[in-house]
Structure 1
Amino acid sequence: MITLLGPTASGKTSLAVRLAHRLGGEILSADSRQVYQGMNVGTGKDLSEYEYEGVQIPYHLIDLVPAGTKYNLFAWQHAFHQVYAELLHRGVSYPILCGGTGLYAEAVLSGYHLPDVEPNPALRSSLQGLSLEELRERLSQYGPLHNRTDLDSPQRAIRAIEIADYIHCQREAGIEYSEYPPIDSLILCIDLPREERRARITARLRERLEREDMIGEVERLLDSGIPAEDLIYYGLEYKFVTQHLLGQLTRQELFTSLETAIHQFAKRQMTWFRGMERRGFTLHYIDGTLPREEQLSQALTYLKSWEEQQAQDQATI
């Protein structure tokens, strides 16, 4: 498998599509919010990008559940492994896992598995009133394999702590979760200088607000009956646009607050990816400032070296 990581607005989908086109591969999304139907602009699905030179590139793990659903890693891992097994059965040589949710990617690469945890009312009550930063700090005490990159609402942070606390208690009782085997994969990561990354994020946010009708998308979700608190739970675009539509933020406050939040989110994504290296993964960095075809060439060079190493390792067994 090929895994392609990168921060938001780095051009992951475009590069993954070119890789899939060249290699005859199919793409599996590792994005925790692209699983929701009807949440297209705010999650950056960019579905039009999956057609390249007249060829529709197959993609998976997008639009899995209705908006308003509380989806989680437990459900996503099951969906991933069903699709992955089906691709291998069909003889797809290069499944390409592409996304910015580091926990999701790392979970399948390492074979890490989270249980389906029931709500813990007592724990939730004890966490009420803590700030988002305090909740993130509490979560960090449970170790690295708990996603902090897209936790920009207290509700999501509390749910993550709930899962982490359950696993901690189970481990103390001698119970581990490793239902799935690790997956050997070439890991690529698009890297951008900080200022370039910030410029791209700001430009894309303006595009989504002014031309892609992101506010209209959130209005339609609210009109469909999804409660405002559910959209706020999803964080980032859905949180701040909903607050704007509720009259809590002006249009300028919406832009400024959301821009800052996405910059912080991208920084946390890169922190996660670099943390994967400390946890034993090898990431091959691709210069995100290069033209797309040069990025593709760089990725293919990494792939050739990786396959040669794989062949050598097999020969020594």
Structure 2
Amino acid sequence: MKTEPPLLIILGPTASGKTRLATRVAAGIGGEIISADSRQVYRQMDIGTGKDLGEYIVDGVPIRHYLIDIRDAGDKYNVNDFQYDFAQAYEAIRAHDRVPVVCGGTGFYLYALLKGHAQDTVPVNEALRESFASQTTEQLLAHFRRTTSPYHALADTSTRKRLVRALEIAAFTREHPEQEIRFGAEEQAYPAIIFGLDPPVDVRRKRISNRLAERLKQGLIEEVQGLLNQGIDADSLIYYGLEYKYITLYLIGAMTYDEMHARLETEIHRFAKRQMTFFRKMEKDGLEISWIPDEWTEAEKIAFIIRHYREFKNGQASNM
């Protein structure tokens, strides 16, 4: 009977170099890539989502990858879809006797893999918990009854601890309606070792700005125009955020080019900051992330990741 291979996860904010590193690690360890990116699932959304498909060929050898180009542009995709599709990809990699290398920056998707249960995929909100500390249980219960959310009908408020968690989950579902979490459903929580990339802020900002300029030269505006020409409505593209939102607003005349460029660049910087905030929350929730120094050479990063993955895998096997 085959043992369950643990996940090798490489995460980081946008423009941190995740894809290049993950594909080279996969090449060195006999791995296949599973993308954990909420937008790379869409076909014909290549430049704006940063698929960098050329990186999936290492020394002339293609690296097999999953969960890229699996949905049509204009569709909606959520964490429940991701968990289902991920399970199929994981089983395919397991059947190949290969290493599952997960690469992505959608923290909520990664969190769902590592926590499994739908309720557990909602991260702890320390600020919200602090605001509840001075309130009595009766006040919190009254607050819960005054609000609504998709979670209310299932919530357990029998103790103060459970009530606080219910309020936390309810708040998350209201603030992130796009996640469409199916509470009550159980998914697998995968064993994993996590590696993170976190370039210094000034380095990250420079990379983001340079990458945006390069993508505009590569035809990012034409990519969005092509999607509009195919009949995908503007609201659907705006829903995807960042490049697709602001370039669509420019193309429909709601922004000038300069306004679009400035706003988009600012929002990508903010997005990268939010990604890092989420990864730090993951750590606070007990998920250990080994952060790779940006100044290391690529070879040093690859060797470190492969060595520690093998040690982790061997440790998992010895504990069975």
Taking structure 2 as the reference length, the TM-score comes to 0.79
State the 1:157 CA deviation.
Answer: 5.2
Residue 25 of structure 1 corresponds to which residue in structure 2?
Answer: 31
Deviates more, 1:52-61 or 1:295-304: 295-304
Name the CA distance, whole Å, in 2 between partners of 1:191 and 1:309: 27
Which string of whole-angstrom CA distances, capped at 9 and with x for unpartnered residues, describes residues 100-140 of structure 1? 001111111221338xxxxxxxx79xxxxxxxxxxxxxxx9
State the 1:290 CA deviation.
Answer: 2.8
Which string of whole-angstrom CA distances, capped at 9 and with x for unpartnered residues, describes residues 243-299 of structure 1? 111112111111110111011100111111111111111111112343322221221
Output aligned runs, 1:214-229, within 5 Å.
Answer: 214-229=220-235
Give the alignment partner of residue 99 of structure 1, picking from 90, 99, 104: 104
Asked if residue 192 in structure 1 is aligned to residue 199 in structure 2, the reply is yes
Output aligned runs, 1:40-51, within 5 Å.
Answer: 40-51=46-57
Name the amino acid aligned to 1:112.
Answer: H
Which segments of 5 or more consecutive residues in structure 1 lack a partner in the other structure? 115-122, 125-139, 148-155, 168-175
State the 1:146 CA deviation.
Answer: 5.5
Asked if residue 84 in structure 1 is aligned to residue 102 in structure 2, the reply is no
Name the amino acid aligned to 2:225.
Answer: E
Which segments of 5 or more consecutive residues in structure 2 lack a partner in the other structure? 1-6, 120-147, 150-165
Output aligned runs, 1:127-142, within 5 Å.
Answer: 142=168
State the 1:145 CA deviation.
Answer: 11
Asked if residue 202 in structure 1 is aligned to residue 209 in structure 2, the reply is yes
Q: What is the SS of the residue equivalent to 1:192?
A: coil
Give the conservation status (yes or no) of the 8 Å contact 2:16–2:204.
yes
Runs of 4+ in 1 over 6 A off after TM superposition: none
RMSD: 2.5
Q: What is the SS of the residue equivalent to 1:4?
A: strand
Over 3 Å counting, the alpha-carbon distance change for 1:243 and 1:146 in structure 2 is same
Name the CA distance, whole Å, in 1 between partners of 2:58 and 2:220: 25
Over 3 Å counting, the alpha-carbon distance change for 1:298 and 1:51 in structure 2 is same
Give the alignment partner of residue 273 of structure 2, picking from 258, 261, 267: 267
Q: What is the SS of the residue equivalent to 2:168?
A: coil
Name the CA distance, whole Å, in 2 between partners of 1:144 and 1:14: 38
Name the amino acid aligned to 1:270.
Answer: M
Name the amino acid aligned to 1:40.
Answer: D
Output aligned runs, 1:1-317, within 5 Å.
Answer: 1-92=7-98, 94-113=99-118, 142-143=168-169, 159-160=177-178, 163=180, 167=183, 176-177=184-185, 179-210=186-217, 212-311=218-317, 313-314=319-320
Name the amino acid aligned to 1:96.
Answer: V
Name the amino acid aligned to 1:142.
Answer: E
Give the conservation status (yes or no) of the 8 Å contact 1:68–1:231.
yes
Taking structure 1 as the reference length, the TM-score comes to 0.79
State the 1:159 CA deviation.
Answer: 2.4
State the 1:91 CA deviation.
Answer: 1.7
Which string of whole-angstrom CA distances, capped at 9 and with x for unpartnered residues, describes residues 184-217 of structure 1? 011111111111111111110010112x110000
Q: What is the SS of the residue equivalent to 1:186?
A: strand
Name the CA distance, whole Å, in 2 between partners of 1:194 and 1:243: 28
Higher Rg = 2
Over 3 Å counting, the alpha-carbon distance change for 1:11 and 1:21 in structure 2 is same
